[in-house]
């Protein structure tokens, strides 16, 4: 038996929200109701972006824009948002249609990442930017400091490898798409001339990143 929603929200955000409805909506998948998390996710994505940009700017005062962008892109991905959602126990409170639940949507990075952003949007509307900032910093914890140097995105690293070795630029191609609409799986092939690698992910961007990483490892980059 999962913890009652109001109790879980109080322990997650530090106090019970005055208005429960936006949080219930943030946890509702489109398979369950038309009034789902999508609008709140739109808002929460922007709130998270501002909070994270400000946090990185303050935490790494000596780094240039390019390095900060690499750090930013590594900590606001759907996979990271989903990881945070899992750590907070979001899965126990998702409201899904039967088919979506049977298809594993309650552990989908796409769904959990979107719901995490929707919850941030709901908390921002409830308590304001300062409270949203405090929540994000607590929830993300040490994730922004896990890399001593700004992490190089695999796609950027592969692009630089190709230029350094006077090879043509990498090309990416979606070669397969499978799974239900709420939990799709994309397979992407990346090629540099005759060298190629493939990978699968929950969306096109994740699959491209994984394919680039695989090709880099193959090329010794």
Q: Is 1 helix (H, G, I), strand (E, B) or coil?
A: coil
Residue 58 falls in the annotated catalytic set: no
3-state secondary structure labels for all residues of 169-193: CCEEEEEEEECCCCCCEEEEEEEEC
Measured N-to-C along each axis, helices 65-75 and 38-59 cross at an angle, to the nearest 10 degrees, of 140
Query: What is the C-alpha radius of gyration for the chain, rounded to an integer number of angstroms?
Result: 19
Residues 6+ apart with CB under 8 A from 101: none
Residue 6 falls in the annotated catalytic set: no
**Burial level of 127, CB count in 10 A (0-12/13-18/19+)?**
middle
Counting every residue, how long is the chain?
221
Sign of CA dihedral 42, 75, 179, 106: negative
The catalytic residue among 41, 45, 109, 126 is 45
* Whether 206 contacts 78, CB under 8 Å: yes
The catalytic residue among 41, 114, 117, 208 is 117
Q: Annotated catalytic sites, by residue?
A: 45, 117
């Amino acid at each position: 038996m999962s913890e009652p929603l109001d109790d879980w929200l109080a322990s997650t955000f530090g106090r019970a929200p005055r208005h429960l409805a936006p949080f219930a909506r943030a946890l509702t998948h489109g398979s369950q109701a038309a009034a789902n998390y999508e609008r709140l996710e739109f808002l929460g994505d922007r709130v998270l972006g501002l909070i994270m940009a400000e946090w990185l700017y303050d935490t790494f005062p000596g780094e240039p824009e390019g390095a900060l962008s690499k750090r930013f892109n590594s900590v606001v991905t759907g996979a990271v948002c989903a990881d945070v959602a899992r750590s907070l126990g979001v899965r126990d409170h998702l409201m899904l249609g039967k088919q979506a639940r049977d298809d594993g949507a309650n552990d989908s990075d796409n769904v959990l990442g979107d719901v995490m952003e929707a919850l941030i949007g709901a908390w921002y509307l409830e308590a304001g930017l300062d409270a949203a900032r405090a929540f994000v910093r607590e929830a993300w914890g040490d994730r922004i400091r896990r890399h001593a140097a700004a992490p190089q995105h695999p796609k950027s690293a592969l692009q630089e490898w190709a230029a350094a070795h006077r090879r043509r630029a990498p090309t990416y191609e979606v070669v397969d798409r499978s799974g239900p609409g709420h939990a799709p799986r994309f397979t992407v092939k990346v090629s540099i001339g005759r060298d190629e690698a493939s990978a699968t992910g929950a969306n096109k961007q994740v699959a491209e990143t994984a394919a680039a990483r695989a090709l880099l490892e193959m090329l010794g980059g």
